[in-house]
Amino acid sequence: MARCLPTLRAPKLPDKYRSNMTQKYGFTTTILHSDRQKPIEHGAPHKPIHTSVTWGYSDARQLADVFQGKQSGYRYGRQGNPTVAALEDKVTKMEGGLATICFASGMAAIGAVIQGLLREGDHVVSSAFLFGNTASMWQTYGGQGGKVTMVDATDVAQVEAALTPATRVVFVETIANPRTQVADLKRIGELCQARGILFVVDNTMTSPYLFQPRLVGAGLVINSLTKSIGGHGNALGGAVTDTGLFDWSRFPNILDGYKRNPQPQWGLAQMRAKSLRDFGASLGPEAAHHIAVGAETIALRMERSSASALAVAQMLEADPRVAAVHYPGLASHPQHALAADLFRSNGYLFSFELKQDIDCFDYLNRLKLAISGTHLGDNRTLVIAVAHTIFYEMGAERRAAMGISESLIRVSVGIEDTADLVEDFRQALQA
């Protein structure tokens, strides 16, 4: 069992803002009974699927009060929905945060940070070890007048050296996809806290069960709900959670209109308007329901998939036909000790490289259980030849700089029986 970091205390807030920041029960119990903390029709244990996109009020003044923020309520489906709100509350509890906004996908959640909080001329320091689409999004932001510096986030000194007076955000993934580099999260968090910079952490590869980024001082946490939180590969979704740790009065881009809210709510208030209402990447109620139900078993699934990932990675590392295995749970991983300090376990994702005389496509085609597909965090084990698919557009030079070889295979381990998975990956080598 990995050691946990000392708890980083959130700023002292009025009680009405702290309802989701303390938990009476354990992780799974809290998630299972989250919906029941508020009244549900007919005593159902799940929030029902509300498909309406408009909300009527018997008093026209009430609708005006909702628009003006004088009372809570729903305006239009693009800006909020009771089913989605129930999921937002559940994700907030998972992350031990202040509040959450859900979006149509994980990429929409990352884009929401750019759309809602950054301006032309702002500077971002980002880990160079990123999911391909995230790297592409930062390139797009750079083309629109933003400035982005990509660094090796396993070394806090590189992050510090890249900071400028215009730096507004430092962005990292917990475990990088696909080469599994682990960012120096705690020291980067301390650096951002000292400099008053918003620390944004993508927690998708670990999940809130294995790690809560608030423990290292993250101000915003990104989750692709499509992955391990939903778990079943049947719904797209993303989320941004405010941990309550960042002092938004130090962030120069908050518009005066959103400062009418209590200071801890400034960031998400602006994002709900600028990123959700204006940008329109709203999560639908049907998808929200699928994700909320899937989230109930995240702890059980992550424990099984993490254990199986370690077993398969160990088998592959011991085989002479495998050139390299990249998994933080292995003692050979450069950040193995760091990961052991940070995470409950090392997650479901690993990648490996075959020796040069073995064709990666032939190997993948010999697998009987693992499915060739581009997804992560599913109940089923998924594999993909990285350089030829999801990182193909990046080009050979950029792939080489990121340590992505032509034979690299990414594996997202599911919840199949561990022995069956180990044998499947072994038999494909023997053939």
Output the CA angle 64-112-297, nearest 5 degrees: 95
SS3 (DSSP) at 24: coil
Mean pLDDT value across residues 122-131: 95
Strands (DSSP E) contained in 366-431 are 371-372, 382-385, 408-412
Question: What pTM did the predictor assign?
Answer: 0.90
Helix, strand, or coil (residue 353): strand
Question: What pLDDT is recorded for position 392?
Answer: 72
Task: Round to whole Å and give the CA distance between 273 and 65.
Answer: 16
212-232 burial: b if 16+ Cβ within 10 Å, else e: bbbbbbbbbbbbbbbbbbbbb
Angle formed by the axes of helices 106-117 and 132-143, to 10°? 20
Average pLDDT over residues 13-24: 46
Give the per-residue pLDDT at 215. 97
Query: According to the model, what pLDDT value does residue 2 have?
Result: 45
pLDDT top residue among 14 and 230:
230
235 near 375, Cβ under 8 Å?
no
Res 202 pLDDT > 90: yes
DSSP state of 345: S
Among the residue ranges 23-37, 112-126, 193-207, 410-424, the one predicted with the least confidence is 23-37
| Closest to 26 measured CA to CA, from 216, 292, 299, 211 | 299
Predicted confidence at residue 387, as pLDDT, reads: 84
For the chain, give the number of residues: 431
pLDDT tens digits for 340-365? 999 999 999 999 999 989 999 999 99
Report angle CA 228, 231, 232 to the nearest 5 degrees. 160
Q: Is the predicted pLDDT of residue 403 greater than 80, yes or no?
A: no
Hey, is 173 helix, strand or coil? strand
Domains of the chain listed by start with CATH number: 28-295 (3.40.640.10), 299-428 (3.90.1150.10)
Return d(Cα 223, Cα 169) in angstroms, integer: 17
pLDDT for 248 = 98
Q: What does the block give as tokens for 103?
A: 């979006």
Report yes or no: 373 and 408 within 8 Å, Cβ to Cβ.
Answer: no
CA dist list (Å): 358 to 39, 379, 422, 429: 58, 28, 19, 9
Q: Which of 46-60, 192-206, 264-278, 332-346 has the lowest mean pLDDT?
A: 46-60
User: What number is the average pLDDT over the span 6-32?
Assistant: 56
Task: Encode pLDDT of 130-164 as tens digits.
Answer: 988 899 999 999 999 999 999 999 999 999 999 99
**Residues β-bridged to residue 352:** 325, 409
d(CA 363, CA 378): 21
Annotate 68-79 with DSSP letters as a single string.
TTSS----BTTT
Per-chain mean pLDDT for the chain: 91
Across residues 252-281, what is the average pLDDT? 95
Cβ contact 177:152 at 8 Å: no
Separation between Cα atoms, residue 354 and residue 358, nearest integer Å:
6
Task: Locate all alpha helices (DSSP H) within 144-250, ordered by sequence.
Answer: 156-162, 185-195, 207-210
Strand ordering across the sheet containing 147-151: 99-103, 238-242, 220-224, 198-202, 167-173, 123-127, 147-151
When pLDDT is averaged across residues 263-269 and rounded to a whole number, the result is: 97
Residues 31 and 24: beta-carbon distance below 8 Å: no
Give the number of other Cβ atoms within 10 Å of residue 117's Cβ: 23
As a whole number of Å, the end-to-end CA separation of the chain is 36
* Tokens describing residue 347: 């997650």
pLDDT reading at 13 higher than 70: no
**Whether residue 12 has pLDDT greater than 50:** no
Cα(176)–Cα(410) distance, integer angstroms: 12
